[in-house]
Amino acid sequence: MVKQKVLVTGGAGFIGSFIVDELVRDGHAVRVFDSLEPQIHGPAGKIPDYLNKSEKVEFVRGDVLDYGAFREAVKDVDVVFHEAARVGVGQSMYEVSRYVDTNTNGTANLLNILANEKHSVKKVLVAASMSSYGEGAYTCSKCGPVSPELRSEKQMSQRKWELSCSGCGSILMPVPASESKLLQPTSVYAITKATQEDLVLCVCRAYGIPAVSLRYFNVYGPRQSLSNPYTGVAAIFMSRIKNGSPPIIFEDGMQSRDFVSVHDIAAANMLAMKSGAADYGIFNVGTGRPITIMAVAEAIARIYGKSIKPTVTNNYRKGDVRHCFADISRIKSRLGFEPKVSFEDGMRELISWADKASAVDMVDKATTELKSKGLVG
């Protein structure tokens, strides 16, 4: 492929930095545009040590809400990966305007630039999210496929965790969620991610700039922010297991998610950049395999060689979905994507990195904070 000049917004973050590495490996020139948010990068807003040190990488500290700075960053690039966002689902429920500002208005700025300024952008890839689905896809043995709403407060308070069919009352079976599944976002974060996708596809289509939306599932791996209390159950479990305390599990632990390694996410981004078959498309990026939260806790305990049994609280978090995992047939058939990292290998890699990282003194501050806002039942 011809060498390109590529802008990665949020390129100092967890996922963005791996995209940067892949781009450098392929010989492209990369500009990272990132505000170095204190919640992710510490109060001093330091460029992370892991950021690719190649001379092909230019770092620009800037905010997607700063139109002038963003315009300069976009000016001479061929491709844009838009990864910059605020990423806390729980936090988005009480920092509503900050999430809408960064995620929605930041994306709007990018599109204003593409619509109104001189530029050479030939492709835009946007990081979308499985969170926009809300509940995953289900099927009823009697009534067929259904796309149920979130479990009611009443149902949750009765500790009835599985979903039942609104037609006949049978317990529903989770099935892979395809891209055509109804979007039923259940958090401000999820709404902004769905909006980002809609905005990018709509405006880019209008101006004939090929755009791709990649709906990432639950991404994990080295460099994920351990000091940020919102970025993932694996990091929170790790900190507890490492310190000899049991991980705290909501519901009964049988809820499931699709945990996908950051390496597979970066690979999917490269395929989508290179392939014309991706243009104007929406693609799930996951493994297609559901893993229960209990299995995550058990795998981490196993890897640490500790015989700690998780504490099942039977508490719940408002807005949590029961099961959601990806149907990846579209990205497989159109882009030739194949997830390569097994869950066990990926967890081992995450743990060996976290053991070396300096930020291991994590606490599950997330739960404490959500509790203080009345978001845990």
Ligand X SMILES: NC(=O)c1ccc[n+]([C@@H]2O[C@H](COP(=O)([O-])OP(=O)(O)OC[C@H]3O[C@@H](n4cnc5c(N)ncnc54)[C@H](O)[C@@H]3O)[C@@H](O)[C@H]2O)c1
Binding-site partner at residue 51 among ligand X, Zn ion, none, CB < 5 to 8 Å by type: none
| 92 is a site residue for ligand X (CB under 6 A) | no
Binding-site partner at residue 237 among Zn ion, ligand X, none, CB < 5 to 8 Å by type: none
Name 201's Cβ contacts closer than 8 Å, sequence gap at least 6.
Answer: 211, 213, 280, 282
Name 371's Cβ contacts closer than 8 Å, sequence gap at least 6.
Answer: none
| 320 close to 251: Cβ distance less than 8 angstroms | yes
| 10 is a site residue for ligand X (CB under 6 A) | yes
Q: Which three-class secondary structure state does DSSP give residue 111?
A: helix
Using the minimum distance from each CB to ligand X, give the nearer residue, 146 or 264.
264
| 290 is a site residue for ligand X (CB under 6 A) | no
Strand partners, 214: 127, 283
Q: Which residues bind Zn ion (CB under 5 A)?
A: 140, 142-143, 165, 167-168, 170
What's the maximum distance between 2 C-alpha atoms anywhere in the chain?
A: 62
Tell which positions 38-77 bind ligand X, by CB under 6 A: 40-41, 63-65
| 362 is a site residue for ligand X (CB under 6 A) | no
Binding-site partner at residue 143 among ligand X, Zn ion, none, CB < 5 to 8 Å by type: Zn ion
Using the minimum distance from each CB to ligand X, give the nearer residue, 146 or 231.
231
Strand partners, 357: none
Secondary structure of 134-171 in HEC code, one letter for each residue: CCCEEEECCCEEECCCCCCHHHHHCCCCCCECCCCCCE
| 129 is a site residue for ligand X (CB under 6 A) | yes
The residue of the chain with the least Cβ separation from ligand X equals 13
| 13 is a site residue for ligand X (CB under 6 A) | yes
| 127 is a site residue for ligand X (CB under 6 A) | yes
**Buried b / exposed e along 106-126 (16+ C-beta atoms within 10 A):** bbbbbbebbeeeebebebbbb
Using the minimum distance from each CB to ligand X, give the nearer residue, 14 or 316.
14
| 16 is a site residue for ligand X (CB under 6 A) | yes
Using CA of residue 185, residue 176, residue 219, residue 293, what is the dihedral sign? positive
| 92 close to 136: Cβ distance less than 8 angstroms | no
Strand partners, 324: 257
CB of 298 to ligand X, least distance (A): 21
Is 207 an active-site residue?
Answer: no
Using the minimum distance from each CB to ligand X, give the nearer residue, 29 or 262.
262
Of 8, 20, 34, 322, the one binding ligand X by CB under 6 A: 34
| 36 close to 60: Cβ distance less than 8 angstroms | no
| 326 is a site residue for ligand X (CB under 6 A) | no
CB of 164 to ligand X, least distance (A): 28
Catalytic residue among 99, 133, 138, 189: 189
Using the minimum distance from each CB to ligand X, give the nearer residue, 268 or 335.
268
Binding-site partner at residue 165 among ligand X, Zn ion, none, CB < 5 to 8 Å by type: Zn ion
Q: Point out which span in 32-40, 158-166, 203-211, 357-365 binds ligand X (CB under 6 A).
A: 32-40
Nearest Cα residue to 214 out of 275, 148, 269: 269
Binding-site partner at residue 127 among ligand X, Zn ion, none, CB < 5 to 8 Å by type: ligand X
Using the minimum distance from each CB to Zn ion, give the nearer residue, 27 or 145.
145
Using the minimum distance from each CB to ligand X, give the nearer residue, 172 or 271.
271
Of 36, 73, 200, 272, the one binding ligand X by CB under 6 A: 36
- Give residue 7's identity as a one-letter amino acid code: L
| 100 is a site residue for ligand X (CB under 6 A) | no
Nearest Cα residue to 125 out of 280, 316, 350, 328: 280
Using CA of residue 89, residue 282, residue 285, residue 287, what is the dihedral sign? positive
Helical H runs in 174-232? 188-207
Q: Which residues are catalytic?
A: 189
Q: Which residues form the interface with ligand X (CB under 6 A)?
A: 9-10, 12-16, 34-37, 40-41, 63-65, 83-87, 102, 106, 127, 129, 193, 216, 218-219, 225
